[in-house]
A = this chain, B = another copy of it.
Amino acid sequence: MTTHAFDQAIALTAQADGSFQGHTSPAYANMVGPYGGITAAQVLNAVLQHPQLLGEPVSLTVNFAAALADGPFTVLARPARTNRSTQHWVLEVQQQGQAVVTATAVTATRRDTWSLDDAPMPQVAAPEQVPLPKAQPPLALFKQYELRFLEGAPPEVLDGSGHSSLTRLWCRDHPARPLDFASLAALADIFIPRVYIRRSAIVPAGTVSFTVYFHASAAQLQTCGSGYLLGQAQAQAFRNGFFDHTAQLWSQAGVLLATSHQVVYYKE
């Protein structure tokens, strides 16, 4: 059995000093440096593999301080505070001794409470009814995902005619892979820069800070198997070189698994 490209990409080796060693993955190469979602998954994996881990991920914030160079990197993961049922993580990815990513995470042991999805899944066509795109951006990372766009696909004509920043798509790993926290974190970054969609224009852009809130337990993720997730993202403000977006990821059964936000640099 071959290891999935995703598992190869997020593999980390524990070092004697407590840090983790990883390596950028050519399979997840983006325009400049690796896909931010894979970096987020690598960072989260350091928490998930940490011998002192308490509970499961609740939140993850990853700040992209510099484009990762192709090659090895070190993840430093420190539980800054461990409470009875929550744990606070401070993380940093370094290359050549320099910070390329800063991050924080919260993990927790969760228990059953009153629960409610307050952002219902939009009514959309089933994944099987949504065709694959005729063409994908020529980037390695898009070979690792199956994306079926319902709305807000990458613009086919770059004529400045865009009028909405909303994207809705069915997505999953390609080849399909059972969902877990790491792959969910990576999928939460699957939305191409909103500035492309809103303007029907390609503008140099890169995520600066990315947050994921995990609403599902490991057991709930397991029940999703390798099914599709419905992803939705929409910008809120584009202003003087930075824009933000909010995003949601529902299971095909309509359970809100994760919500996400990011602020993105754009050049002009």
Chain B residues, Cβ within 8 Å of A83: 65-66
Q: Are A65 and B92 in contact (CB under 8 A)?
A: no
**Of B58, B92, B106, B110, which one neighbours A80 at CB under 8 angstroms?**
B92
Q: How far is the CA of A58 from the CA of B261 in the complex (A)?
A: 13
Query: Which of A6-14, A42-50, A176-184, A236-244 sits within the interface?
Result: A236-244
Q: Which secondary structure dominates where chain A touches chain B?
A: strand
Query: Which of A17-25, A142-150, A208-216 sits within the interface?
Result: A208-216
Q: How far is the CB of A171 from chain B (nearest CB, A)?
A: 18
Q: With A59-B208, A116-B198, A118-B165 given, is the CB distance from A90 to B106 under 8 Å?
A: no
Q: Are A118 and B88 in contact (CB under 8 A)?
A: no
Give the number of times this chain occurs in the complex, counting copies: 2
Contact indicator per residue, chain A 227-268, by CB within 8 Å of chain B (1) or not (0): 000000011111111111010100000001001010101111
Chain B residues, Cβ within 8 Å of A100: 81
Contact indicator per residue, chain A 138-172, by CB within 8 Å of chain B (1) or not (0): 00000000000000000000000000010000000
On chain A, which size bracket covers the interface?
A: 35 or more
Does A30 sit at the interface, judged by CB under 8 A? no
Does A115 sit at the interface, judged by CB under 8 A? yes
Does A99 sit at the interface, judged by CB under 8 A? yes
Q: Are B240 and A259 in contact (CB under 8 A)?
A: no
Listed in ascending order, the chain A residues whose CB lies under 8 Å from chain B are 58-59, 61, 63, 65-66, 80-81, 83, 86, 88-90, 92, 98-100, 102-104, 106, 108, 110-119, 165, 194, 198-199, 208-209, 211, 213, 215-217, 234-244, 246, 248, 256, 259, 261, 263, 265-268
18 contacts across the A-B interface (CB closer than 8 A): A58-B208, A58-B263, A65-B80, A80-B99, A110-B239, A113-B267, A114-B199, A114-B238, A114-B268, A118-B238, A119-B237, A209-B213, A213-B242, A215-B239, A216-B239, A244-B259, A246-B259, A246-B261
- Top 10 A-B residue pairs of the complex, sorted by shortest distance between their CB atoms: A65-B81, A65-B88, A80-B99, A119-B236, A59-B209, A110-B240, A215-B237, A118-B235, A237-B256, A61-B61
